[in-house]
């Protein structure tokens, strides 16, 4: 059992280095266990439904595969999508696909949704929520888009850009949570963790 001064450990069900860095910034004890969950979803699902379902799938995949004495742990799953004209823009398949995606996004507003799921490894109790951020990209020339794609940064990013990297230079403004666009809305996560007795600020 944990004593009153200890926090429950976190298991991050993700291989994303960005999510790992973000959760580390909260100074909570955590470990990473990849989920390998199926990420296929019906085409008629809403963005809100999609990210919440995928976040829960990732957390459940880790929960069901847990071994040993980890009943005190809280499992966190998360999923982020970029939506333009009600179409989900995933990760580009190649450089040409990244250029096409950025050509569509440039000069326009799009939406970024991130779902967050938490599961109590001891009881199986779970909660899931999401955040939305509106992002407006600058008008970009073909040369600038090509130069950005050539940096290699878009290759594994939903929407083909990274707001926390060189891609920040492409963004005009955002409305909502910045960390949501990176991949893990920390304000939402901290609120959810409080429901499981985990506090970012101790002594509450």
Catalytic residues: 79
CA-atom Rg of the chain in angstroms: 18
Q: What are phi and psi of 89, to 5 degrees?
A: -100, 115
Helical segments of the chain, H only: 17-24, 47-64, 95-105, 142-149, 178-182, 186-194
Task: Give 185: exposed, middle or buried? Use CB within 10 Å, 0-12, 13-18, 19+.
Answer: buried
Token reading at 32: 């990473």
């Amino acid at each position: 059992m944990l004593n009153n001064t200890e926090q429950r450990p976190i298991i991050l069900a993700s291989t994303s280095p960005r999510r790992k860095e973000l959760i580390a910034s909260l100074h909570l004890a955590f470990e990473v266990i990849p989920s390998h969950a199926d990420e296929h979803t019906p085409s008629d699902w809403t963005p809100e439904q999609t990210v919440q379902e995928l976040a829960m799938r990732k957390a459940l995949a880790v929960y069901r595969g847990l071994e040993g004495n980890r009943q005190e742990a809280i499992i966190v799953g998360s999923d982020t999508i970029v939506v333009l004209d009600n179409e989900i823009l995933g990760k580009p398949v190649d450089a040409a696909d990244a250029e096409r995606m950025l050509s569509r996004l440039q000069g326009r507003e799009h939406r970024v949704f991130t779902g967050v799921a938490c599961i109590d490894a001891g009881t199986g109790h779970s909660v899931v929520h999401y955040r939305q951020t509106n992002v407006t990209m600058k008008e970009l020339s073909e040369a600038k888009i090509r130069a950005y794609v050539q940096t290699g940064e878009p290759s594994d990013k939903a929407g083909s850009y990274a707001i926390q990297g060189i891609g920040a230079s492409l963004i005009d403004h955002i409305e909502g949570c910045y960390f949501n666009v990176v991949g893990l809305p920390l304000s939402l996560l901290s609120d959810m963790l409080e429901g499981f007795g985990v506090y970012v600020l101790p002594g509450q």
